[in-house]
Structure 1
Amino acid sequence: MSEYVSVASTGPSAAFFDLDRTLISGSSAFALATAARSMKMMPTHELVRDAMTAATFKFRGDHDTGASDNARDRILGFVEGQRQDDLLALNERVLPTLLGKIRPEARRLVDIHRHAGRATYIVSAAPHEIVEPLAISLGMTHGIGTKGKVVDGIYTGELDGPFTYGQGKVDAIEEIARFEGYDLRLCYAYSDSSSDLPMLSAVGHPVAVNPDSKLERHAKDHGWPIVIFSQRTKTVIRRTATGVASAGVAAATFAAGLELGTRRAGKAFWR
């Protein structure tokens, strides 16, 4: 257990992981849309439109409320009038696809936090009915996704809780922190997108993973660890750490199971 000592909890805490392009490579929305099309729950032209939306949505940033509203409306519009049991049944097709997209470095990172006694959560705008089973399949504590209101087993097209995107993710993790007694100052959060700056800023240990340009600039300005999860190997490349504290956080988080490279001038590099 010595490899986990440096990330051991000093109090109730959790690690929150974005899904698309953080835990997995690519988009969960496309996998869901493809499965829905195969089950005749979505016509082909909507599949194509959702694939394009998924490819661009996250990179517009948290300031683009139009993109956020459109994504929310697309999710609610998709489930409106559908039976909840039918959406849950999609997991038979969606889960194997998403599990095949899990980055090996991300899986190892989840295990590090879990063995350190820390709760682990996926936090995603994707439907809760998909996010929760994926989290459980990975041995995580829970998944936090967008919930649609259900009446008599049918989705009404209305939200049942926050839309878990941007500030909505913060609302969700703050509610869980209050319920579970987590100290957010001791918590970790991981994301690739500037749309998750609210969530990353809400915890004591934010980490940018394969960041977009806006998130990378913000991380550098604030001394947050930045890591690159490679697409094809189990390599983690440490790109920047401002100051000894940031390097220490990165080392504590990623040391287990990874090859430690050269340290130069207080900066750590993994190759």
Structure 2
Amino acid sequence: MTEYVTVTGSGPSAAFFDLDRTLISGSSAFTLAIQARKVGLIPTHEFVRDAGSAVAFKLFGASDDTSDEVRKRILGAVTGLRQVELQGLNAEVLPRLIQRVRPEAKRLLERHRRAGRDTFIVSAAPQEIVEPLAHALGMTGGIGTRSRVEDGKYTGELDGPFCYGEGKVEAMQAVASWNSYDLAQSYAYSDSASDLPMLDAVGHPVAVNPDSKLERHARRNGWPIVIFSQRTKSVLRRTLSGVATAGIGIGGFAIGTQVGRKRRSGVFRR
């Protein structure tokens, strides 16, 4: 597979794809924000005060203390929202995300499928987006951040790992254990140094349009570096110019669902 990287290996394995600026160009949170604001679902004033720190967290990564603080603020902001209302956004959000899937990523997904390898999205984005998007793309499943739901409403508590940094690894290991994947034979793709734990967790890490820190790490360790179509920068400029809106969108990060107990066997077991 000279176009990107060589997809090889035998035995049970999987390919894990970061979502934002890897599988798709730009930010899924930004797309969610536009629709959420359009239908008046999320009050702007609850998120604007956190927009700066939220955008920095999403675009450039964060320390453990900062990510923990952002996670708590986000979960607090969505407490009491009805799950069905957020799920209802998919009718508008998913088609827009599908349009932004990188053509190279589509071909790479097909290569992995032909190799008999399961494929997953792994993202801090809400499970409401990640799971249906993965299935729409013909992938095995999606691993997103889930929030506990009681009586149809979000409680403000996580129902699983916060899928960022080490949280992605925890979720991947659970999926690998349930499906008997060998992570040493598995692949992972990301654009960001914040995903170094995810990339280090597999035997075949690949840097996609990497940021400077990830590029340096990849070169030092001999990891493949691939360049997908360059729509990212223009999308990034639009995102930063709408910083308040992006802050709202990032509020969707921790809006996961309590689907772990209902997902089909062989993907994720609670």
TM-score tier by shorter-chain length is 0.7 to 0.9
Name the TM-score, length of structure 1 as normaliser.
0.78
Q: Distance in 1 between matches of 2:201 and 2:31?
A: 29
Q: For 1:58-137, list aligned pairs within 5 A.
A: 58-61=58-61, 64-137=63-136
1:167 aligns with 2:185: no
| Contact 2:145/2:161, CA 8 A, preserved across alignment | yes
Over 3 Å counting, the alpha-carbon distance change for 1:133 and 1:163 in structure 2 is same
| Contact 1:126/1:146, CA 8 A, preserved across alignment | yes
Q: Can you list the C-alpha shifts for 1:64-115, whole angstroms capped at 9, x where unaligned? A: 1233124423442343111111111110111011111111111111111112
Q: Counterpart of 1:204?
A: 203
| Matched pairs, number | 228
SS in 2 for 1:231: coil
Percent sequence identity over matched residues? Answer: 67
Over 3 Å counting, the alpha-carbon distance change for 1:74 and 1:26 in structure 2 is farther
Q: Distance in 2 between matches of 1:173 and 1:81?
A: 29
> Between Structure 1 and Structure 2, whose CA radius of gyration is higher?
1
Shift of 1:40: 1.1
Q: Distance in 2 between matches of 1:128 and 1:53?
A: 22
Q: Counterpart of 2:39?
A: 39
Q: Distance in 2 between matches of 1:54 and 1:109?
A: 31
Give the strand-richer structure, 1 or 2: 1
Over 3 Å counting, the alpha-carbon distance change for 1:174 and 1:49 in structure 2 is same
Q: Counterpart of 2:10?
A: 10
- Mind listing any 5+ residue stretches in structure 2 that lack a counterpart? 232-270
| Contact 2:123/2:164, CA 8 A, preserved across alignment | yes
Over 3 Å counting, the alpha-carbon distance change for 1:144 and 1:55 in structure 2 is same
| Contact 2:46/2:77, CA 8 A, preserved across alignment | no
SS in 1 for 2:15: strand
| Contact 1:29/1:50, CA 8 A, preserved across alignment | no
Q: Distance in 1 between matches of 2:198 and 2:77?
A: 26
SS in 2 for 1:164: coil
Equivalent AA in structure 2 for residue 12 of structure 1: P
Q: Distance in 2 between matches of 1:21 and 1:49?
A: 25
Over 3 Å counting, the alpha-carbon distance change for 1:115 and 1:229 in structure 2 is same
Q: For 1:131-146, list aligned pairs within 5 A.
A: 131-146=130-145
Shift of 1:228: 1.2
Name the TM-score, length of structure 2 as normaliser.
0.78
What RMSD, in angstroms, separates the aligned Cα atoms of the two structures? 2.1
| Contact 2:122/2:144, CA 8 A, preserved across alignment | yes
| Contact 2:189/2:206, CA 8 A, preserved across alignment | yes
Q: Counterpart of 2:250?
A: none
Q: Distance in 2 between matches of 1:81 and 1:100?
A: 32
Bigger CA drift: 71-80 or 29-38? 71-80
Over 3 Å counting, the alpha-carbon distance change for 1:8 and 1:216 in structure 2 is closer
Shift of 1:50: 7.0
Q: Distance in 1 between matches of 2:77 and 2:207?
A: 31
Shift of 1:230: 1.8
Q: Distance in 1 between matches of 2:180 and 2:189?
A: 20
Q: Distance in 1 between matches of 2:53 and 2:137?
A: 27
1:157 aligns with 2:156: yes
Q: Distance in 1 between matches of 2:48 and 2:99?
A: 22
After superposing on structure 2, the runs of 4+ consecutive aligned residues of structure 1 that deviate more than 4 Å are 45-55
1:27 aligns with 2:64: no
Equivalent AA in structure 2 for residue 103 of structure 1: R
SS in 1 for 2:125: strand
| Contact 2:123/2:130, CA 8 A, preserved across alignment | yes
Shift of 1:58: 3.6
Q: Distance in 2 between matches of 1:103 and 1:55?
A: 22
Over 3 Å counting, the alpha-carbon distance change for 1:130 and 1:75 in structure 2 is farther
